[in-house]
A and B are shown apart, each in its own frame.
Chain A
Amino acid sequence: MLTTLGRSALSFASYLGEVALLMRDTVGAILLGKIRWRLVMFQIAEMGFRSQLVVSVTGAFTGAVFAAQTYFQFHKLGMDSAVGPVVSLSMFRELGPVLTGLMVAGRVGAAIAAEIGTMKVTEQIDALRALGVQPVDYLVVPRATALMISMPLLVVECVGFSLIAGWFVATQVLGVQEAFFLENMRRYTDGYDIAWALSKGFVFGVIIVFLSCYEGLNAREGAVGVGRAPTEAVVRCSLSILISNFFLSFGLNIIFPTV
């Protein structure tokens, strides 16, 4: 029992260590100026641009249902005008980044792990090395750069759509006074909340890209091995996002305190 526990603790520690080494190599390559901008642009289009539909639909419907539920509860207390700030704050601070993170983990994380995993088992990664190209420079750096740029923007887009949908449901469908809705939303939402969303988006982007690249680079031979890589990537990314979000909220509350 203790040995099993110890063994899994050890393998978890070595997993974290290997991901950290991958991050070190990537950051090292970026600092050495090994960024291939053409590949970065391609990845931004592939991972960022093409995730917009998923992310905006997620944002819109979450914002809509959230506004409706808040209205149902607050209406009893006669606090209709609080719907705006409640939706806005929770979307900026928690739901926007987390939902975007989960959706992107599913869409992009799986794709990264599957693509790199396939390259691994078909010797394409060895071929890169044999041709004198560092796989980290060619595969990880462009994806990491692209996602670190795209994720904060996707989070803002998600939150933006959620606010529009929330506004629509609250004021146009449920009859909340538009002026109060907007004014209260504006008063209680400040730059810190946006910084909060951007920071979380960035961190989740880092989590997604490194965990997924790691799964791809360590994919095992055969159909089963390649098949497992994306599954593992999505599961690990999603859990890491949810868990780290909790600690991030505490950390960010110190950096960007709630006034």
Chain B
Amino acid sequence: MSSSPETPVIEVQALKKRLGTQDVLRGVDLQVRRGETCVVLGRSGCGKSVLLKHIIALMRPTSGRVLIEGEEITGLPERQLLDVRRKVGMLFQSAALFDSMTVEQNLAFPLKEQGIRDPKVIKERVTEALDMVDLLGAESKMPEKLSGGMRKRVGLARTVVGRPRCILYDEPTTGLDPITSDSINRLIRRLQKRISVTSVVVTHDMKTAFHCGDSIVFLHEGRVYFQGTVDQLRASTDPVITDFIEGRSGDAD
């Protein structure tokens, strides 16, 4: 389907998801334009990751629609989703590297799946991606030998190596030390500039939000509670938001 420049790359309409007896998402609307980075904030368990998994159709909504470049993906059968998924890369919270493969094989995997057979091209693209995350020389390491931060970076390299048009980040800095977090944030920013991808970043790390976000969506109790720019978020006087930004639990001491 052709998409005009105004068509949002990612569009979520009235998304509802029920898991067991719990309503995780209660009607979420979201639009992300080309080249934009949208940060989704919210407390743990508010449905951020669930929202992300719907955008790449790893989960099916109870009701509502998800459109990628104007094409509805909600009802597509698995095999037809494969093409959609090649447009969208995802960095998993745990990096989800294939632990039976070396770093190089992990990065070559999406390329081979795209039908690239020439070993020279594969080698070039893998080197380029590893260079981007400053991990040249780690090609032959197995994932279990890597530290958490390195794994995340390899995961990021594997996500970008296939040159997706959108990247979804599931808590890219959770569990990392402040310095590694900062390097990941810079990497996300660099990727936006260098290959101008459209991104959705799910996080509860305010530094990531302020550093990377063009627009911010704040999820609260399964709904979009706030939507706006970073400055609007900072200027907000709403107690739910200020408590979150400043990390106050709201309990009396």
Contact = CB atoms under 8 A, between A and B. Distances in A.
**Interface of B (DSSP majority class):** mixed
Interface string B11-37: 000000000000000000000000000
Given A122-B99, A123-B96, A124-B98, A130 B90 contact: yes
Interface string B84-102: 0110111011101111000
B78 interface: yes
A222 interface: no
A134 B57 CA distance: 13
B86 A129 contact: no
B85 A129 contact: yes
Interface string B102-124: 00000001100110000000000
A133 B96 CA distance: 14
Interface in A92-135: 122-124, 126-127, 129-134
A134 B99 contact: no
Contacts of B162: 131
Interface of B: 53, 56, 58, 78-79, 82-83, 85-86, 88-90, 92-94, 96-99, 109-110, 113-114, 158, 162
Contacts of B110: 131-132
A125 B83 CA distance: 17
B78 A130 contact: no
B109 A131 contact: yes
A126 B58 contact: yes
A8 B20 CA distance: 20
Given A122-B96, A122-B99, A124-B98, A130 B56 contact: yes
Contacts of B79: 134
Contact of B113 (A122, A124, A126, A133): A133
A37 to B, nearest CB: 14
A123 B82 contact: no
A124 B99 contact: yes
Contact of B85 (A123, A124, A130): A130
A134 B78 contact: yes
A127 B58 CA distance: 9
A131 B167 CA distance: 12
15 contacts: A122-B99, A124-B96, A124-B97, A124-B98, A126-B53, A126-B96, A127-B90, A127-B96, A127-B98, A129-B78, A130-B90, A132-B85, A132-B86, A133-B113, A134-B79
Interface in A178-224: none
Contacts of A122: 94, 96, 99
B113 A132 contact: yes
A134 B82 contact: yes
Pairs A-B, 6 closest by C-beta atoms: A127-B96, A123-B96, A132-B82, A130-B90, A132-B85, A132-B86
